[in-house]
Amino acid sequence: MEAYKKEFIEFMVDCQVLRFGDFVTKSGRRTPFFINTGFYRTGTQLKKLGEYYARAIEENFGLDFDLLFGPAYKGIPLSVATVMALSERGAEIGYCSNRKEVKDHGDAGILLGMPIKAGQKVLMIEDVTTAGTSVGETMPIIKTCGEVEVVGLVVSVDRMERGSKEKSALSEIHETYGLKTAAIVTMAEVVEHLYNRPYQGKIIIDDTIKAAIDAYYEQYGCRE
């Protein structure tokens, strides 16, 4: 596993973004781990997060695209932090996000940031995708702006669980929309790095938590 992936996993733990215990996801699944990117709250944290996203984007998509689209609300700071990090890599990429409500005055419309124009290449950015719902909501918004090429979707963590069928949510997004998908890390990499390995003086994933994760994937893990 690449060093930056290990660093990112530890970064999530440090920021309390990645936690283990007993949680219920938005889809109603009881899960032994939870990822809440709302806990990236400081300038330093967001700067580092953008750098990790930028690294994953360059590795998986290159830098030949025009605009990074982050769906409201969590996608807004993600897109801003990441285009700033991409600029440090020599890529001048615009950011764009949608509003939940259409604004009828001033900077009117449903979009904020760089306008989406026909002929542009757009990459979507999200925090964590479990069922692909926001992609289904976002694609029509982008497509109404003209002949735009959506080159893919990048997320922070691939939870590696089933979407609506037997495949992972990211695989279903690829099949449904023809999008390439990528994540900074997968949950398999998280477990590989943290299981029975001391970090900051304690074991983050011990045998009990590992057994709960295994049981969760037995029930909800993707089959392909």
Average pLDDT over residues 110-135: 86
Rounded CA gap, 138 and 196, in Å?
40
Lowest-pLDDT range of 70-79, 138-147, 183-192: 138-147
Decide if pLDDT at 81 tops 70: yes
Average pLDDT over residues 82-87: 98
Rounded CA gap, 97 and 72, in Å?
6
Rounded CA gap, 118 and 58, in Å?
23
pLDDT band at 107 (very low <50, low <70, confident <90, very high): low
From 26, 100, 105, 202, the catalytic residue: 105
1-57 pLDDT, tens digit each: 999 999 999 999 999 999 999 998 877 889 999 999 999 999 999 999 999 999 999
pTM for this model (two decimals):
0.92
pLDDT band at 176 (very low <50, low <70, confident <90, very high): confident
Altogether, the residues listed in the chain come to a count of: 224
157-175 pLDDT, tens digit each: 999 988 766 678 888 888 8
Q: Which DSSP helix (H) or strand (E) runs through 180? A: strand 180-186
What pLDDT score was predicted for residue 114?
93
Mean pLDDT of the chain: 91
Average pLDDT over residues 182-195: 97
Q: Is 105 noted as a catalytic residue in this protein?
A: yes
Q: How many CA atoms lie within 13 A of 76 on its CB side?
A: 10
From 6, 103, 165, 202, the catalytic residue: 103
pLDDT band at 103 (very low <50, low <70, confident <90, very high): low
